């Protein structure tokens, strides 16, 4: 049986080894956080806690929703939003091979904060930091989208969105299209789907082409056959269909899809990031409300 003690002091690095019960527990805690977000107010649950939000590569949603989550719980946020402002990615030091290590960075952050949320430019970087940190480390996406790259908190908020829409995850049919299927968030959510019963995920992933190869192919009149979802392609779809996208928007989704009744990505899905991340922060810091 899962309870809040299973999260306290723990890292969130991958969904590979999470049980269904653990995923469902986060849904219950996120639900408890929703009134704070809906009323645009603050609680004082984490008023004495500090989040180090350390992003080596760009982010709009993950970084700001973690900042919002910590702020809505009364806590404070430190960190950096561009790697070059850290000693780990200090351009001058990197030139001489002296970029500060994940070990040293993690130990320093453990002195200054109570939890680390890191977007890392190397696959496995958050796991390496977690080896040395004495506080929980949350992987906010790692690597340049290699096989072992993950984005577990994105997957949890996506699973939460699906649960809220359908009341269940068991038995659903999911079509994962294009780059969304093959990037780090896609890796994590596939692990999540695998924990539920009879979920069928149909993956139709673009094989990314090397830009130089794509250019030469186009010179020959060929192309990579990219798929774009448009409003007209959705005509006649079942009312129960929903369209999610982790964003930022790429070529795969036309802006006219935004106006359809199926679109969730800019609204419900993105909104759910804050209560889910509030829940996760409260859980790893041992302050989650009873569910």
Q: What's the min distance (Å) between Cβ of 59 and ligand CP? A: 3
Alpha-carbon distances, residue 164 vs 62, 94, 227 (angstroms):
20, 46, 28
Q: 39-61 as b/e, with b when 16 or more CB fall inside 10 Å?
A: eeeebebbeebbbbbbbbbebeb
Kindly indicate which of the ranges 84-92, 202-210, 223-231, 242-250 contains the residues binding ligand CP, using the contact rule CB under 6 A.
242-250
Q: What's the min distance (Å) between Cβ of 84 and ligand CP? A: 18
Kindly indicate which of the ranges 59-67, 106-114, 122-130, 166-174 contains the residues binding ligand CP, using the contact rule CB under 6 A.
59-67
Kindly indicate which of the ranges 4-12, 43-51, 215-223, 240-248 contains the residues binding ligand CP, using the contact rule CB under 6 A.
240-248
CA atoms within 13 A on the CB side of 285: 24
Q: Of 62 and 105, which has the nearer Cβ to ligand CP?
A: 62
Q: How many CB atoms lie within 10 A of CB 77?
A: 17
- Residue 35, burial from CB neighbour count under 10 angstroms (0-12, 13-18, 19+): exposed
Q: Of 110 and 246, which has the nearer Cβ to ligand CP?
A: 246
Is residue 61 involved in binding ligand CP (CB under 6 A)? yes
Alpha-carbon distances, residue 54 vs 105, 158, 251, 253 (angstroms):
10, 22, 28, 30
Give the list of residues 6+ apart from residue 235 with CB closer than 8 angstroms, or none: none
Containing 174, the helix (H) or strand (E) segment is: strand 173-177
Look at the block and give the residue holding tokens 């899905």. 269
Q: Of 119 and 127, which has the nearer Cβ to ligand CP?
A: 119
Is residue 60 involved in binding ligand CP (CB under 6 A)? yes
Kindly indicate which of the ranges 6-14, 57-65, 97-105, 258-266 contains the residues binding ligand CP, using the contact rule CB under 6 A.
57-65
Is residue 59 involved in binding ligand CP (CB under 6 A)? yes
User: Distance between CA 145 and CA 186 in Å, rounded?
Assistant: 10
User: Distance between CA 27 and CA 263 in Å, rounded?
Assistant: 21
Q: What's the min distance (Å) between Cβ of 185 and ligand CP? A: 6
User: Which of 26, 62, 105, 272 is close enough to bind ligand CP by CB under 6 A?
Assistant: 62
CA atoms within 13 A on the CB side of 87: 10
* Site map 125..144 versus ligand CP, x via CB under 6 A: ----------------x---
The strand pair at 173-177 and 200-204 is best described as parallel
Q: What's the min distance (Å) between Cβ of 215 and ligand CP? A: 26
Is residue 154 involved in binding ligand CP (CB under 6 A)? yes
Q: Of 186 and 279, which has the nearer Cβ to ligand CP?
A: 186
Q: What's the min distance (Å) between Cβ of 35 and ligand CP? A: 24
Q: Of 60 and 224, which has the nearer Cβ to ligand CP?
A: 60
Helices then strands, counting H and E runs in the chain, come out as 10, 6
State the number of binding residues for ligand CP (CB under 6 A).
10
Is residue 267 involved in binding ligand CP (CB under 6 A)? no
Residues that bind ligand CP (CB under 6 A): 59-62, 141, 151, 154, 246-248
């Amino acid at each position: 049986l899962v309870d809040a003690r299973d999260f306290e002091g723990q890292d969130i690095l991958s969904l590979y080894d999470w049980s269904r019960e653990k995923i469902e527990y986060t849904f219950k805690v996120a639900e408890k956080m929703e009134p704070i977000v809906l009323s645009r107010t603050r609680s004082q649950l984490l008023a004495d806690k500090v989040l180090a939000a350390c992003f080596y590569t760009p982010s709009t949603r993950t970084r700001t929703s973690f900042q919002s989550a910590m702020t809505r719980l009364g806590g404070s946020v430190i960190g950096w939003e561009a790697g070059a402002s850290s000693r780990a990615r200090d351009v001058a030091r990197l030139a001489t091979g002296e970029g500060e290590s994940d070990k040293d960075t993690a130990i320093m952050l453990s002195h200054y904060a109570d939890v680390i949320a890191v977007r890392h430019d190397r696959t496995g970087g958050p796991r390496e930091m977690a080896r040395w940190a004495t506080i929980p480390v949350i992987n906010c996406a790692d690597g340049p989208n290699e096989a072992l790259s993950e984005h577990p908190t994105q997957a949890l908020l996506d699973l939460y969105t699906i649960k809220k829409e359908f009341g269940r995850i068991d038995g659903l049919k999911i079509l994962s299209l294009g780059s969304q299927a093959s990037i780090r968030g896609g890796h994590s959510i596939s692990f999540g789907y695998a924990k539920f019963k009879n979920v069928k995920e149909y993956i139709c992933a673009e094989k990314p082409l090397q830009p130089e190869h794509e250019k030469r192919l186009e010179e020959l009149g060929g192309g990579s056959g990219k798929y774009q979802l448009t409003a007209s392609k959705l005509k006649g779809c079942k009312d129960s269909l929903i369209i999610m996208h982790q964003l930022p928007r790429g070529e795969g989704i036309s802006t006219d899809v935004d106006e359809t009744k199926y679109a969730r990505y800019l609204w419900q899905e993105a909104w759910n990031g804050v209560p889910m991340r509030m829940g996760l922060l409260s859980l790893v810091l041992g302050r989650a409300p009873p569910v």
